[in-house]
Amino acid sequence: MLLIVMAFQGYAATIPTIAAPWFRVDFHLDDPSMARVFAGFALSSFGALALARMADRVGRKRVMMWSAIAMPMGALGAWFAQNVVTFVACIIVVEAFLGAAVTCSVVMLAEILPVPRRADGQSWAGLASAVGGGLCVFLAPVFVRFGLSWRWMMAIPVAGLAILPQVVRALPESHRWQREAQGDERRRTHFYDIFVPLYRRRTVTLIVCSLLAAFSAEGVNSYSYFHAVTVTGLSPDFASALTIVGGGFGMLGFPIGAWAAERFGRVPTIVTCGAITSSVALAYFWGPPAHFGHPAFWLGASFLFMNATTNATLVASYAAITELLPTALRGTMMGWLALTSAFGALSAEATIATLSSATGGISVITGWLSLLGIPGAILFGMIIDETRGLSLETAAREAAFHER
């Protein structure tokens, strides 16, 4: 049931990126305006933080139920939006509840799976999300070929209103959260408790690394399809095929990331794969070289490796983050990181909007920003504790938290 929710989330989360070439035309947007639109999308993180905190207060399942109803309604509004302000507002609603659904799904996976399977569970969640996103990429040129508006991409999230509430209703509540809810600890926690001395070092490091990762990834995630179509000149059909093939093979990064996180540890996997991702992203956005005979091959290979290492990093990151904070703050930490990522995304989009013309376009400045993932990966490796093989109680220092 969690994987079904993640698949819907993956589809809906991909829509703004894949639809960018078309809503750019519909809403008459130039490069700086495009950056401001994507910056607007990032405002959803404030809602995601509030909802993540609610997941620790009222339960993971209840917040997922809210998301299962609100996401399709927001998608319906975006489908019929006639101006860019309304469209952005609706996408903000969709992405806020998407963030809440992802937070609850990731946290519940960590709380229900045994120690040796936690990273593996996060890899399955990533695969489900990627399959959903791949379906969106596949359908985009199909709609165009049949003369349908890009707005029809919203049809599947809207249809989720018919099944997602039933799916969520079938989920049991997290037993760990239920045990926590029976005590006094949950009522004494606050959204700022992640900064108590016991967790301050971990929290500050995670927030700084998340900020750098968002700076690095925002342009890469937002403009990869845009770069292939608008800058390199590939047709939408060809760019979609390249994205599907590269993204499909890139999904191997999920099981590889799970294996590496259990074999070598969460921290080494994040450091290695994070640094590689930034390097390959630079090659994607600054390539292919002039007069290169097969630009599609260059972009396809870069996109494949970029996706594989990104997915491996994601699996290890979810495994680590959910293990570093106690049950009463696990969702809250995810919400804080969503807010931090949004601030990084806003700053990245503002940087792109300001410097794109001066530096030679969106692709050039996106390449520069992608390099910020390297110091973030190094900082994570220097400070964050390894949690491989530890129970959630030991890794998160639950006993010390309740005794403080």
DSSP per position, 328-339: GGHHHHHHHHHH
The more confidently predicted of residues 60 and 357 is 60
CA angle centred on 205, ends 200 and 210, rounded to 5°: 130
Is the pLDDT at 403 greater than 80? The verdict is no
Listed in sequence order, the residues at least 6 apart from 148 whose beta carbon sits closer than 8 Å to its beta carbon are none
Distance linking the first and last C-alpha atoms of the chain: 37
Q: What is the average pLDDT value for the chain, to the nearest integer?
A: 87
The identity of residue 210, as a single letter, is: S
- Return all residues near 346 (Cβ < 8 A) that are at least 6 apart: 39, 42, 43
Residue % of the chain over a pLDDT of 70: 98
Task: Give the residue, 220 or 289, on which the prediction is more confident.
Answer: 220
More confident residue, 342 or 184: 342
Which helix (H) or strand (E) element contains residue 198? helix 197-226
Say what angle helices 373-383 and 266-285 make with each other, to 10 degrees: 170
Structural tokens at position 269? 């996997």
DSSP one-letter code for 194: G
pLDDT of 202 strictly over 90? yes
CATH number of residue 179's parent domain = 1.20.1250.20
Q: Which two tokens stand for residue 263?
A: 């074999």
Q: What is the pLDDT of residues 355-382, one digit of tens each?
A: 888 888 888 899 999 999 999 999 999 9
Here the tokens at position 87 are 């469209």
pLDDT, residue 186, reads: 47
- Structure tokens that stand for 73 in this block: 């309604």
Residue 17 pLDDT > 90:
no
Average pLDDT over residues 270-293: 88
Q: What is the domain extent for residue 385? A: 2-403
Position of tokens 């969709």? 94
CA–CA dist 234, 226 (Å, integer): 10
* Two structure tokens written together for 336: 């804080």
Closest listed residue to residue 69, CA positions, set 93, 91, 33, 35: 93
Total domains in the chain come to 1
pLDDT in tens, 218-256: 888 878 878 888 888 878 777 877 877 887 888 899 999
- pLDDT for position 183: 64
Task: Give the tens place of pLDDT for each residue, 103-157.
Answer: 899 999 888 888 888 999 999 998 999 889 888 888 887 887 888 888 898 998 9
Report pLDDT for 292: 76
- pLDDT class of 262 with cuts at 50, 70, 90: very high
Query: Is the full-model pTM beyond 0.75?
Result: yes
The predicted structure's pLDDT at residue 231: 80
Two structure tokens written together for 49: 């933080």
pLDDT number for residue 305: 93
Separation between Cα atoms, residue 75 and residue 157, nearest integer Å? 6
Q: How confident is the model at residue 184 (pLDDT cuts 50, 70, 90)?
A: low
Structure token pair of residue 325: 């904070």
pLDDT of residue 354: 85
